[in-house]
Structure 1
Amino acid sequence: MPCHFRDCAIFGLMLLLMTASVHAHPVSYTDAWVKVSDVVEVRLNVFLDDVLRHQLDLPEDQTTVDADIFRAALKQHAATLQTQLRIFDQNGHRLRSTVRSVPEWDDGSSDDGARDVNLSADSSLKLSWQIEYAREDDDQPLAALCFVHNFTHRDLTEPGELRLHLQHQPSRRRFDSVIPPNRPHTVVFPNTSQQLNYSAFNSASSRLVITPVAIVHEFTAPLSLLGAVSESEAVVNALAHSDEAADDSTLDKSTATELQQQVAAWMRANVRLTVDGQTQDCSDVQLQLVPPGSTMEDDLVAAESSGSERDVLPVLGTLAAIRMLYRPSVSVQDVELSFQKRPGAFDEWNVEIITDAAQTAQNLPFVEGGEQSAAVSWSAEPVDAQKSVAAESAVELERPDQWKPVSSEQHRPGIRGAVVGFLTTTAIFGMVFCNRRVLSRRLAMLLFVVGLVTGGVCLATMPDRVDVVDQAETRALADHLLEQVYTAVLKQDEHKALDRLSEVLDAGLAEQVFLDTRETLSATSSEALLVSLESVEIDQLEAVEFDQRPDLINVQATWRVRGTVYHWGHNHVRQLVLCGNIALKRVEGNWKISSIVQTQPARFEAVTTEAAGV
């Protein structure tokens, strides 16, 4: 009997704990089923316990709630939901909400058609409200929505969350997300011209592009979540949940410029890049503010997308895109990128590392305390010398001695033949003239004919030999030599680069050309950074002999260095246009470059469809 009593007591205690836990409802989440078309239809499924928590102040020992009181609480909670969930369009304008339906508390269990609420049995029930959100100004297509909610309460052991299930009917796409309270969440709808990663608008992401010439760190994060601007009045007002909260979450130009300066200063102070153990100075910081739904150009953020042409810029949903440029003076072997402080309200850091050989991605947590909040490292992989030599030998199929840029041509009548023929004919004619008295008429005529024939033979058999520069052959030769130069310069290993350059450059020129070419590529890296080389092509060329020497050619040329550029999460092809004078010299039977003098600043151009061969 005591054993049965003990078992019953344990069972009763467990039941009491379960009942108490259900009533306490330590975890709360609200489901939002959203349909987006001309209007935004939202069905909110809310726990009954959350309604009581926000609308009624119940004593801890109360177990039921009168049905009439609960009906009134349901109606009051409709207004609360409109305050708890705010939706903004891509321009930062708040959508107007209208309650279309309120749940009924009527199950026919009593004579009047309603029963009281049992706090133990009914607390986990889900109740549904239908709310419609509409735009006041719908001249522009709806390109994005930003959701900000406050479905939480101080009595909850864990912050409440919004489980978003959105259907974009025009594109028939579905978006599912779990959103913490007071954290803006942006949904960008599909757009054929949009090249951004949609998740970038809700997370902290870094892309580290590593080349021998320069290193670029691209960081994107929601503007409103960055710690550098979190205390700004505009951001605080946008995130405020109250009846007096602003209808529009926008920034004017002066405020946007001020926030840009704050973010840039914070990034310079808290982002550290080390190369081979040495801390690098950031040579340039570019920061753009990209509103949701705006178009990112194929290389840089367009002015119209950055808000520079806008009178106002939305706070919520706007992406801060920061590009930090580093120009290390040594070849890159080991790189570490770190944040000294957490950049904002982010738990994870999405990092991509891009090189000419590979592209990797990883997620790292942000931690508090210590010398660093988060750090990521990269090291160049050791190269097998035998495999490297074999690979380079397989690639280098064409040798400079295959081209014949200078050829000899015979010109008839030549100057030398004309002179010899003239002198010979004149001598014979002179002899005939001087001996005209002793020579017979027939012999004089014969000698006269012999003189003419001798002069003609001299003209025919003694042509002039002229060295002529073949423009087509010179173009092919210069193409090959320049491609070898840029291929070598973009190698991570400086020693291998110099060895490769010595094969196509005159003695003592390899190091100077190596430094000059890297300086040219580094100078243009603020505009775009070549990750890998595709081709080098001569666009315009005029080649002439240098001082009538067949072993020297002076080339005035415009050439294009085409390669892959990485910008804001996508790759594309760009071409660097250069102009200059190139001297070619024949050394031991092989043609090499003896000098390269750039005559105009290098510039990047987009590759047209025809040029890309599409």
Structure 2
Amino acid sequence: MPALFIRMIGCYTSLTLQQFRSFGQTLLCAIAFLLCSSSRIVAHPISMSTAVADIYQDRVQVELRILTEDLMFYHSIEADGDQLLSRKNLLEAAEAHRAFLKKYFRVLDKTGQTIEGNFTRVDTQEIPEEGVRLDQVMEVGVFYEFHILLEDIPQYLTFTQNFGGDDSPVPAVMDLIMLQNGARLDFPVQIGPRSPHSVAIDWENPPRNDRMYWRERRDLMKKRREELLGITSYSSTYAYIYVEPFEIRFEILVPLLTLETWMPMERKEKDFLSVEEQEGLRSPLEKYIRSHCEGLVDGIEVVPVLSHLDFFSLDIRDFASRSEPRSIGMQNGRAGIIMTFSTKGKPASASIEWSGFNDYTPMLNTMVYMMDGTGERHFFTENEPRWNWQTKEEGLGEIAWLTLPQAPQQAVLSVSPVSMTLAGVAGLFLLIGSAGRKRAALWSGVTALVAAGIVWPVTVVEISHPWEKINPPSIDQQKMITEAMLKNVYRAFDYQQDEQVYDALARSASGTFLENLYLQIKKGLIVQEQGGARSHVREVRWGSAASVTSDSSEAAFELNIRWEVTGTVEHWGHIHTRQHAYDALIQIVAEDGQWKIGGMDVTSEEQLKSSTGLRNAA
């Protein structure tokens, strides 16, 4: 028996009986093959093989155990009259099978490129001299040693097999057992034509064969789950539903090979999807979504919008991060799909129905997050394809704005420069006429005075009253007004549509400063490293304020202020938190009896906190 298989058995025999039993049916089958069970199994048309891969920093050593049943099927060996496959024919087929395995069994790097290797040895000792009876073809095997040299220390590897090609009439299943430096890396897995297996390799904490390692494994797996942001399997499909004010998001992270079973994916290269081909998938994918996904919000049907479509390779851990467009490998690439259902306000009820099921996606395991609550698990299946939600809260609807005190009305004086000029001229004529007893001057004065009265209504203007001074609010009132207005400004960005945000800001900003304020706040909420997503404001914390208002007769004041904003961006079950502090000179003015922001000059911005973690589950 080859060395890797012997070493693999040693890895398992060092464990407790309870741990051994937990490996499940896959491992038991593999051990049964290795021990060459004497049970009589009638051959059937399915390829069953075993691979043990030992990963080192400079190489990968793979030993494959191929049943003689495969040699019979793939190389068309016929039995003689005694139902025997001759040793000579099996040895010839075993040698020819090298090229078959090199073509259909592959090890890929993190980009999806095949890492070339060579078969260094074929072990046919299990084949007896008299040949193999047909009822023994699943008991007798051939061992192949496959050696791969690595140029770089591997961080990720993908193992895949597609025995016989896409049109092979023989289904193929392979049990894959992985070692790292001779120690068992993980539990055995099965790989097939559309189910490759990718693994992240930890060189700082490599596995060991002693029993203490498996006691430490729980902590290591918990740490790994946090590092991978909860997305620990590279071949699984993950789904999430977020119920938030003004939108409901349905997010699916799906392997490309699985996505190809949903819809055709035309491409020039079989193993890669180019940037242009990725962009070309948006339109047909949106059509697929709209035919397989239906949504209701508050009893009204809402058509899902494909708001994001991104493609990720193995080395992407944060799926909300922006990555440069590049060709993605089909065997280990994934697509991130975000569907959005818009709402008019905080929804009271919602439902989503998903019908995109097939043999590769028999169900959709989904985490659901309602507002700021903990996550709940939901399973979409053909029998239960609908998710329903009804809020238990009351009073949901529009955003609750903070109330501000009424701004004082500025005292004004009505004047008409034209009427005042005519009145002055009239007074002069009347004075001249009275002194010189000139009737013409008197009539001119009367005419000018009448004209002054006639033009008054159409020429009158209002100016600030020069003698009635309005004092600005007290310092404490100024701080209270400014804090409430600032929080209202950020609440306006709870709306998703820019037009809605702009309209909501109008209650807090002067008309001349409205556009500048909108652009200024929006820029501060954009998280560039998260693909330009706008963060959701969780908290606006008031810091300090100092008045710089000089004596004025106008209802206005200025403050030097400092405040902190905590915002989050959530996707794929994890949450990005950013906290910034700002210093600014802000001007508050009174318009039509309401306080408004007339100007704001941000003098400094400081990032206080940046973290990424998992969203809590129930």
Report TM bin, short chain: 0.5 to 0.7
- Quick one: structure 1 residues 284 and 29, their matched pair in 2 at CA, closer, same or farther if it must change by over 3 Å? closer
Partner AA of 1:376 in structure 2: W
Correspondent of 1:379 among 384, 390, 397: 390
Distance 2:316 2:143 in 1: 34
Q: Percent identity?
A: 17
Partner AA of 1:73 in structure 2: A
Distance 2:139 2:494 in 1: 63
Matches within 5 A, 1:130-145: 130-134=145-149, 138=151, 141-145=153-157
Asked if residue 361 in structure 1 is aligned to residue 377 in structure 2, the reply is yes
Distance 2:544 2:289 in 1: 41
Partner AA of 1:258 in structure 2: G
Deviation sequence 1:131-150 (CA, Å, 0-9, x none): 12345xx3x55333333312
Distance 1:539 1:186 in 2: 52
Contact 1:194 1:296 (C-alpha < 8 Å) held by counterparts: no
Correspondent of 2:314 among 267, 286, 292: 292
Deviation sequence 1:413-464 (CA, Å, 0-9, x none): xxxxxxxxxxxxxxxxxxxxxxxxxxxxxxxxxxxxxxxxxxxxxxxxxxxx
- Counterpart secondary structure, 1:123: coil
Distance 2:274 2:147 in 1: 29
Correspondent of 1:329 among 344, 347, 365: 344
- Counterpart secondary structure, 1:362: strand
- Counterpart secondary structure, 1:102: strand
Contact 1:102 1:130 (C-alpha < 8 Å) held by counterparts: yes
Distance 2:130 2:116 in 1: 35
- 1:418 aligns with none
- Quick one: structure 1 residues 352 and 162, their matched pair in 2 at CA, closer, same or farther if it must change by over 3 Å? same
Partner AA of 1:291 in structure 2: S
Partner AA of 1:150 in structure 2: N
Distance 2:374 2:41 in 1: 52
- Counterpart secondary structure, 1:266: helix
- 2:571 aligns with 567
Deviation sequence 1:201-239 (CA, Å, 0-9, x none): 32322211211232222221122331488533438x53x
Q: How many pairs were matched up? A: 456
Instruction: Please state how far the C-alpha of 1:527 moved relative to its aligned partner.
Output: 4.8
Distance 1:200 1:532 in 2: 31
Correspondent of 1:209 among 234, 239, 242: 242
- 1:462 aligns with none
Instruction: Please state how far the C-alpha of 1:566 moved relative to its aligned partner.
Output: 1.4
Instruction: Please state how far the C-alpha of 1:359 moved relative to its aligned partner.
Output: 0.9
Distance 1:194 1:133 in 2: 29
- 1:77 aligns with 97
Distance 2:175 2:126 in 1: 27
Distance 1:584 1:601 in 2: 15
Contact 1:30 1:151 (C-alpha < 8 Å) held by counterparts: no
- Counterpart secondary structure, 1:317: coil
Instruction: Please state how far the C-alpha of 1:324 moved relative to its aligned partner.
Output: 2.8
Asked if residue 167 in structure 1 is aligned to residue 184 in structure 2, the reply is no
Matches within 5 A, 1:54-93: 54-58=74-78, 62-93=82-113
Partner AA of 2:341 in structure 1: Y
Deviation sequence 1:48-70 (CA, Å, 0-9, x none): 32332222333597522222222
Asked if residue 177 in structure 1 is aligned to residue 177 in structure 2, the reply is no
- 1:102 aligns with 122
Larger Rg: 1
Deviation sequence 1:264-284 (CA, Å, 0-9, x none): 453355433321221224456
Contact 1:28 1:156 (C-alpha < 8 Å) held by counterparts: no
Correspondent of 1:226 among 259, 262, 267: 259
- Counterpart secondary structure, 2:123: coil
- Quick one: structure 1 residues 29 and 339, their matched pair in 2 at CA, closer, same or farther if it must change by over 3 Å? same
- Quick one: structure 1 residues 164 and 280, their matched pair in 2 at CA, closer, same or farther if it must change by over 3 Å? same
Distance 1:316 1:148 in 2: 8
Asked if residue 45 in structure 1 is aligned to residue 95 in structure 2, the reply is no
Distance 1:343 1:475 in 2: 60
- 2:41 aligns with 22
- Counterpart secondary structure, 1:203: coil
- Quick one: structure 1 residues 167 and 544, their matched pair in 2 at CA, closer, same or farther if it must change by over 3 Å? farther
Contact 1:56 1:73 (C-alpha < 8 Å) held by counterparts: no
- Quick one: structure 1 residues 282 and 553, their matched pair in 2 at CA, closer, same or farther if it must change by over 3 Å? farther
Distance 1:228 1:532 in 2: 39
Distance 1:556 1:272 in 2: 51
Correspondent of 2:321 among 276, 286, 301: 301
Moved more, 319-328 or 471-480: 471-480
Correspondent of 2:161 among 143, 149, 159: 149
Distance 2:601 2:77 in 1: 73
Correspondent of 2:134 among 113, 119, 124: 119
Asked if residue 129 in structure 1 is aligned to residue 129 in structure 2, the reply is no
Distance 2:391 2:80 in 1: 63
Structure 2: tracts of 5 or more residues without a match: 1-37, 204-223, 397-402, 406-469, 496-506, 509-517, 613-618
Instruction: Please state how far the C-alpha of 1:329 moved relative to its aligned partner.
Output: 0.7
Structure 1: tracts of 5 or more residues without a match: 1-18, 239-248, 368-372, 386-398, 402-465, 492-504, 507-515, 586-592
Partner AA of 2:275 in structure 1: K
Contact 1:349 1:366 (C-alpha < 8 Å) held by counterparts: no
Partner AA of 1:217 in structure 2: F
Instruction: Please state how far the C-alpha of 1:292 moved relative to its aligned partner.
Output: 1.7
Distance 1:582 1:210 in 2: 37
- Counterpart secondary structure, 1:174: coil
Contact 2:365 2:379 (C-alpha < 8 Å) held by counterparts: yes
- Counterpart secondary structure, 2:199: strand
Instruction: Please state how far the C-alpha of 1:560 moved relative to its aligned partner.
Output: 4.5
Partner AA of 2:340 in structure 1: L
Deviation sequence 1:274-307 (CA, Å, 0-9, x none): 212212244561211112213537xx33233x42
Partner AA of 1:187 in structure 2: V
- Quick one: structure 1 residues 169 and 233, their matched pair in 2 at CA, closer, same or farther if it must change by over 3 Å? farther
Partner AA of 1:328 in structure 2: T
- Quick one: structure 1 residues 127 and 155, their matched pair in 2 at CA, closer, same or farther if it must change by over 3 Å? farther
- Counterpart secondary structure, 2:112: coil
Instruction: Please state how far the C-alpha of 1:190 moved relative to its aligned partner.
Output: 5.2
- Quick one: structure 1 residues 82 and 365, their matched pair in 2 at CA, closer, same or farther if it must change by over 3 Å? farther
